Amino acid sequence: MQERQQLVTQITEIEEQLAASTNPIAEIQALEQQIATRRRQLDECITQLGRLEQLALQLENLQTQYEEQQQQLQTCRQQYRVYQELAQAFGKNGIQALMIENVLPQLEAETNQLLSRLTGNQLHVQFITQKSGKGSKSTKKTAKLIDTLDIVIADARGTRAYETYSGGEAFRINFAIRLALAKLLAQRAGAALQLLIVDEGFGTQDAEGCDRLIAAINAIANDFACILTVTHMPTSKKPSKPESKSIRHKKDHRLGF
């Protein structure tokens, strides 16, 4: 009986403890909700991690492209400086201007030497490569110089415009300049002029001009293997050389020296 009584007492105490303890179902449900929330957060973190890893890979690729483009930019800058220097060197103010400045004095001297033979030291040419601008506010000291190529012709009366010279004088000027230029180009090419053709030059000359033109041709005859003159003037005298021969064709008198 006592044992039974003890068991009843224990059961009663357990029932009271159970009645006094809280129901765990609500706590379990709350924990399950927390677990579900944590799982959603974990999924979101995993997704965000994937995006960040992809962005990191893209940044690495962009960094590589940036470094390559920086190298290309540096190369382009170097090439730009080289091309800029080449453009300046081969521009109108570069090698061309230097060559012209070096050549013009020689061309001018050669022209005047030939022209003195043709005109009896009466005509003289000068090549001008720079002149002052036409700005109204500019003074002689502050005027800006501009590039040009003017041929100034002078005679005993001073400097005059090319148009004011007679046809014979103009031909002698042109003849001297062209022949000097041809000789200069041949020298620079390392070759010698072999043939000189004078076409219709005597018709613009008077008797004295013809004599001077022939004398000038005689003076330079040793520089050429052949000199051919073409003229309509039957009275033209050809320079005397033993190997010379005259070629007649219709009304033209072609004199070969």
Stretches where the chain sits below pLDDT 70 are 20-23, 92-93, 96-97, 133-145, 193, 200-205, 209, 216, 219, 233-257
Q: Which amino acid is at 40?
A: R
Q: What is the CA radius of gyration of the chain?
A: 52
Is the distance from CB of 195 to CB of 126 less than 8 angstroms?
A: no
pTM confidence score: 0.48
pLDDT digits (tens, 9 = 90+) for 60-110: 999 999 999 999 999 999 999 999 888 888 776 677 667 777 788 888 888
- 28 in any annotated domain: no
CB neighbour list of residue 201: distance below 8 Å, 6 or more residues apart: 171, 175, 213, 229, 231
Residue where a domain terminates, one of 190, 208, 223: 190
- 200 in any annotated domain: yes
Residue where a domain terminates, one of 170, 190, 210: 190
Residue where a domain terminates, one of 165, 190, 215: 190
- 51 in any annotated domain: yes
Task: Indicate whether 162 and 204 sit together in one domain.
Answer: no
Pairwise CA distance, residues 212 & 159, whole Å: 22
Q: In 91-189, which residue ranges form alpha helices assigned H by DSSP? A: 95-119, 167-188
Task: Indicate whether 201 and 181 sit together in one domain.
Answer: no
**SS3 state of residue 4:** helix
Count of domains for the chain: 3
pLDDT digits (tens, 9 = 90+) for 118-138: 777 888 888 887 777 665 455
User: How high is the pLDDT of residue 191?
Assistant: 72
Residue-range definition of the domain harbouring residue 230: 194-257
- 146 in any annotated domain: yes
- 14 in any annotated domain: no
